[in-house]
Amino acid sequence: MCGIVGYVGDQEALGVVMDGLRRLEYRGYDSAGVAILDGGLTVERRAGKLANLDKEVTAHPLTGTTGMGHTRWATHGAPTDRNAHPQTSCDGAVAVVHNGIIENFARLAADLEDRGHELASDTDTEVVAHLLEEQFTGDLAEAMRTVCRQLDGAFTLVALHRDAPGVVVGARRNSPLVVGAGDGEYFLASDVAAFIAHTRDAVELGQDQVVELRRDGYTVTDFAGGPVDVKAYHVDWDASAAEKSGYPYFMLKEIAEQPVAVASTLLGRFADNGNLMLDELRLDEDELRAVDKVFIVACGTAYHAGLIAKYAIEHWTRLPCEVEMASEFRYRDPVLDRATLVVVISQSGETMDTLMAVRHAREQAARVVAICNTNGSTIPRESDAVLYTRAGPEVGVAATKTFLTQITATYLLALYLAQVRGTMYGDEITDIVEQLQGAPALIQATLATVEPVRALARELAGAPAVLFLGRHVGYPVALEGALKLKELAYMHAEGFPAGELKHGPIALVEDGLPVVVVVPSPRGRNVLHGKMVSNIQEIRARGARTIVIAEDGDNDVTPYADSVIRVPQLPTLLAPLVTTVPLQVFACELALAKGHDVDQPRNLAKSVTVE
């Protein structure tokens, strides 16, 4: 949520900052603002889209080579001009932008007002500007360290002071912040996408650290002022990877990128002898053999990837596996110990609920493996091991290619556990690996045949609701299809296990209601396939409009389907890699038909960095 950009160098800061904010629009926001050091300190901010701010600063340009900007997703205070960031101090000397939540802001605000400060907004952020005003004696980094020691909660802060020219100071606790190191210029951002057009050299900031940027370099300390070691890394994608490449929307581009993304996730994971090599996993094989239970913890789309992974892990490793929503995990006091493997899934590596689950699991001595797309993010750093999905930047808020790569990564982890624990023969693993390696071509083949899905979506744009049904791994796919429709088209959509129809949901079926049915393969799981065909007949008899996703060659469904969407044949456990794709296209096209922005759905953020 929210986006932060800071800059010091020899370019005009306004252009750098505004360009960075545009690259962060995908994170979700409802207001935007900038602050530029131009001999004094000038702040402009506007509610609504970045275009509103752009119009103002185009009409009244701000000059200066040090500045910062922010796109805000409202938590405390409505999305208005006065609540937009940057927030300023009473004397206007300090400007602050902030991601996260300052939990003790009410008490701090009351204390400030008792000392004569006048607060002009409803935000928790403004208290930081006033506290910095009090603490500043010429060293903005020291003032920031002093203020941070007074704050509770999760926050990334970036500040400017009119009496500290050429200096940008940032701080982080439980919220992402990264440094970009250029030639005579330095950047701060909540995401490397903000400065990728200028440099691909980045520096991780750790928990409870403060950074001071100057044109000649940067200094990082902890909140007490002590020196810390930082880790530099090189971003392995460039600015073009975060551009639309001729597509009208990022989501369309990212759906099309899925064959390459899945291939990238698989790349380099296999030895010449067919064994899996998960070098980045960093867990000893003896530790994995000692595991007696697996938890998968995630939010949203990543949770659905975890539900699919459960089937694979239990089938291939014979380990019991539970899937938990990260927001509930630590509050229900799960039973964890050293023999528990906790697998956390997060595209950004900064999802706050998931990060808190990581910390809870490690406090209970469990081993934690992160599946993540973002190198250098917090969750992989705080986990015992990591498996990167390598999907490249995903700008569209609704997850597409990262979902398929998360599924792929969990398959790799499950097969590796089976290999280490000896629960599968080598030729069995090799057979599945070969099928996985062929999956990108099948995903590409699926994408080549989705034009009828687009036409169907446009036809159904006026439907008041859509139901999704699935069995086995088709059930999480149904949940994901429903979620995509909620996120993008703002319409009622629900996913159900098809076997539960008669236990209540069938009451929702009425004449003309579109029901999307994900049908399992008749090969190998024939009992499930037969039951699903019966489910289709049940809902069609009650007037439903049946839209059936079935593999090539499955003709049993044809008499009962109003529309059949064909996908290539894959074994049941691997089928989500192709059955998901038409549902992504369906939701995207239906939302476009309703006139919605599929890259930036209302009220949503790409990375949820608050609880």
Which residue from 341, 350, 357 is spatially nearest to 381, judged by alpha carbons? 350
Both 126 and 142 in one domain: the answer is: yes
Both 192 and 143 in one domain: the answer is: yes
- Radius of gyration (Cα) for the chain, nearest Å? 25
Both 379 and 517 in one domain: the answer is: no
Both 312 and 432 in one domain: the answer is: yes
Both 550 and 518 in one domain: the answer is: yes
Per DSSP, what are the bridge partners of residue 172?
A: 156, 209
Which residue from 51, 44, 60 is spatially nearest to 97, judged by alpha carbons? 44
Both 376 and 262 in one domain: the answer is: yes
Calpha distance 219→215 (Å, rounded): 11
The residue with tokens 């004449």 is 511
Cβ neighbours around 564 below 10 Å, total: 17
Q: Let me know: does 27 contact 191? Beta carbons within 8 Å.
A: yes
What are the C-alpha distances in Å from 31 to residues 27, 92, 96, 130?
12, 20, 15, 21
Both 118 and 232 in one domain: the answer is: yes
Instruction: Please list the ranges in the chain whose pLDDT falls under 70.
Output: 1, 26-28, 237-242, 245, 279, 525-526, 606-607, 609-611
The residue with tokens 């398929």 is 404
Both 434 and 480 in one domain: the answer is: no
**Residue 608 counted as domain residue:** no
Is the alpha carbon torsion for 168, 173, 174, 178 positive or negative? positive
Both 275 and 203 in one domain: the answer is: no
**What's at 63, amino acid-wise?**
T
Catalytic residue, candidates 2, 148, 321, 588: 2
**E runs forming strands in 207-355:** 209-214, 217-222, 232-234, 293-298, 321-325, 340-346
Give how far the C-alpha of residue 28 lies from the chain's centroid of Cα atoms, to the nearest Å: 11
* Residue 187: CATH number of its domain: 3.60.20.10
Q: Which two tokens stand for residue 456?
A: 């169907």
Both 298 and 231 in one domain: the answer is: no
Q: Which two tokens stand for residue 182?
A: 């250029």
Helices (H) and strands (E) in the chain, counts: 18, 24
Residue-level pLDDT at 304: 98
**Residue 112 counted as domain residue:** yes
What are the C-alpha distances in Å from 317 to residues 90, 334, 371?
62, 22, 18
Answer yes or no: 231 catalytic. no
CB-facing half-sphere around the CA of 464: CA atoms within 13 A: 6
Q: Is residue 524 exposed (0-12), middle (13-18) or buried (19+ Cβ within 10 Å)?
A: exposed
Three-class DSSP category at 312:
helix
* Residue 479: CATH number of its domain: 3.40.50.10490
Per DSSP, what are the bridge partners of residue 218?
A: 213
Give how far the C-alpha of residue 532 lies from the chain's centroid of Cα atoms, to the nearest Å: 33
**Residue 524 counted as domain residue:** yes
Residue-level pLDDT at 1: 59
Both 124 and 18 in one domain: the answer is: yes
Catalytic residue, candidates 310, 484, 486, 606: 606
**Residue 598 counted as domain residue:** no
Q: Which two tokens stand for residue 338?
A: 């050293």
Q: Let me know: does 456 contact 594? Beta carbons within 8 Å.
A: no
Q: Which helix (H) or strand (E) holds 419?
A: helix 401-421
**What's at 488, amino acid-wise?**
L
Q: Determine how β-strand 340-346 pairs with β-strand 293-298.
A: parallel
Both 111 and 230 in one domain: the answer is: yes
What are the C-alpha distances in Å from 170 to residues 179, 236, 322, 448, 493?
9, 25, 39, 47, 42
**Residue 130 counted as domain residue:** yes
Each residue of 114-143: pLDDT tens digit?
A: 999 999 999 999 999 999 999 999 999 999
Tell me the residue length of the chain: 611
Three-class DSSP category at 304:
helix
Calpha distance 24→36 (Å, rounded): 19
Calpha distance 41→39 (Å, rounded): 7
Domain end residue (candidates: 446, 463, 495): 446
Residue-level pLDDT at 240: 61
**E runs forming strands in 18-167:** 31-37, 41-47, 66-72, 87-88, 94-102, 153-161
Answer yes or no: 293 catalytic. no
Q: Which helix (H) or strand (E) holds 176?
A: none
Calpha distance 298→302 (Å, rounded): 5
Residue-level pLDDT at 242: 61
Calpha distance 380→364 (Å, rounded): 18
**What's at 64, amino acid-wise?**
G
Each residue of 281-298: pLDDT tens digit?
A: 778 899 999 999 999 999
Residue-level pLDDT at 76: 81
**Residue 298 counted as domain residue:** yes
**Residue 599 counted as domain residue:** no
**Phi, psi at 302, each rounded to 5°:** -60, -30
Q: Let me know: does 9 contact 186? Beta carbons within 8 Å.
A: yes
Domain end residue (candidates: 241, 270, 294): 241
Domain end residue (candidates: 241, 265, 283): 241
Calpha distance 258→600 (Å, rounded): 20
**Domain of 538, in residue numbers:** 451-593
**What's at 140, amino acid-wise?**
L
**What angle, rounded to 10 degrees, do the helices at 105-114 and 126-135 form?**
50
**Residue 603 counted as domain residue:** no
**What's the number of domains the chain is made of?**
3
